[in-house]
Structure 1
């Protein structure tokens, strides 16, 4: 079975969803035979390529409710064993990090890509990692098992940029406007940071070649992160997800 996970490093619900999905995978009897591939998605492809304090960015978008949004996620993350330290989070354009994830996949395989994804999200949300800083990304990649010299050379150029942009465009053509979105066998989709039990049910049903229809959480446009998803507006202004 192949599961393609569309997510953005800067999406907190993608971090939660990753954790819950991995617990489901560990509980799934055929878990070791499941190939997990991370696909790129950018909630804000126009974000400037420079670090900005998360608190300031969110406050500019959502005003006074921004702190409450962060507090809710921090509490939820703690219950999941995840650290959200929003005082240290730096917002930056995520394209460079997505390129690095694609490099890890193409060069080292899905397991290495998954390790790197975890390191990036842990660093971004809990350790003040600047996902647009090449030196910081290199150190993170090395910690995930990638070769320092190879990563340094890769990040110095534009290799795989067009491929990553094409993948992001393809996701939008598929109707994916909210992340995380988990696509099973290219046919069935589960949207949002669902409970572990939902992901386990999806794995079991897809293993039986039965379509899964998990409840899709409500989401708001304008790259808000609420109720299990982070969303950007679709053409009609509402989030959408493909079910095959």
Structure 2
């Protein structure tokens, strides 16, 4: 019997390195499909929980947050685009326009996991990352979130109800608190089998080595 590797992926859909890390993780998982089963769950983390409606210009936000010049930010973004392409995400060539609050996206991800299962949650996660980084559209516009739901093959009418009625707000807040109280303060943070923590956009090779070790121990 193949062992099961449980993976808890704590991240934000507004985090470019979370997209890179996820792409690399999926590439590593594909190498071990014959040797192990994988249960990947996505958990919420908000980089900008207090961001008001309308968001903030991305360059302005990043220069203020990290103390960089606009030129340094653009150079960093070019590097991230290159890494993202290797991981399977074709980021918009002009970069994201603005930085938004992502709470609604996390509510939809929680809903997808609860009502449709982990595989559909994973598809929606990728589509939400595509929405923000590849299409570079407004995350405050719920129609863009619904479009991601539709591309994921999920129930758009149900998703609209979730957004309209503020469903799963409490559950998302509880999950956020669980991980921040556990010391998670940067993303992506990847927890394997409830025991091992990897942080940052790990390369595919790092995941491969970790999976080999976990399979050997099992």
Q: Name 2:82's counterpart in structure 1.
A: 75
Q: What is the root-mean-square deviation of aligned Cα atoms in Å? A: 1.8
Q: Name 2:53's counterpart in structure 1.
A: 49
Contact 2:51–2:100, Cα closer than 8 Å, also in 1: yes
Alignment partner of 1:172 is 2:172: no
Q: Name 1:223's counterpart in structure 2.
A: none
Identify if the C-alpha distance between structure 1 residues 88 and 43 changes in structure 2 by more than 3 Å, giving closer, same or farther: closer
SS, match of residue 172 in structure 1 = helix
| 1:23-48 Cα shifts (integer Å, max 9, x gaps) | 00000144662111101111221112
Identify if the C-alpha distance between structure 1 residues 31 and 93 changes in structure 2 by more than 3 Å, giving closer, same or farther: farther
* TM-score using structure 1 length: 0.80
Distance in 2, Cα, partners of 1:9 & 1:56: 19
Match 1:15 to one of 15, 19, 22: 19
- Alpha-carbon distance, 1:149 to partner: 1.1
Contact 2:109–2:121, Cα closer than 8 Å, also in 1: yes
**Gaps in structure 2 of 5+ consecutive residues:** none
Q: Name 1:198's counterpart in structure 2.
A: 206
Larger RCO of the pair (alpha carbons < 8 Å, separation 6+): 2
Alignment partner of 1:84 is 2:75: no
Contact 1:50–1:132, Cα closer than 8 Å, also in 2: yes
SS, match of residue 179 in structure 1 = coil
| 1:129-184 Cα shifts (integer Å, max 9, x gaps) | 32232111111101101111111111101111111011111111111111111111
Identify if the C-alpha distance between structure 1 residues 175 and 31 changes in structure 2 by more than 3 Å, giving closer, same or farther: farther
Contact 2:188–2:200, Cα closer than 8 Å, also in 1: yes
Alignment partner of 1:66 is 2:73: yes
SS, match of residue 176 in structure 1 = coil
Distance in 2, Cα, partners of 1:167 & 1:129: 27
Distance in 1, Cα, partners of 2:43 & 2:34: 22
| 1:50-99 Cα shifts (integer Å, max 9, x gaps) | 24332232233334122222122123223434222244433110111001
Contact 1:90–1:124, Cα closer than 8 Å, also in 2: no
SS, match of residue 178 in structure 1 = coil
Alignment partner of 1:127 is 2:131: no
Distance in 1, Cα, partners of 2:97 & 2:125: 16
Q: Which has the higher helix share?
A: 2
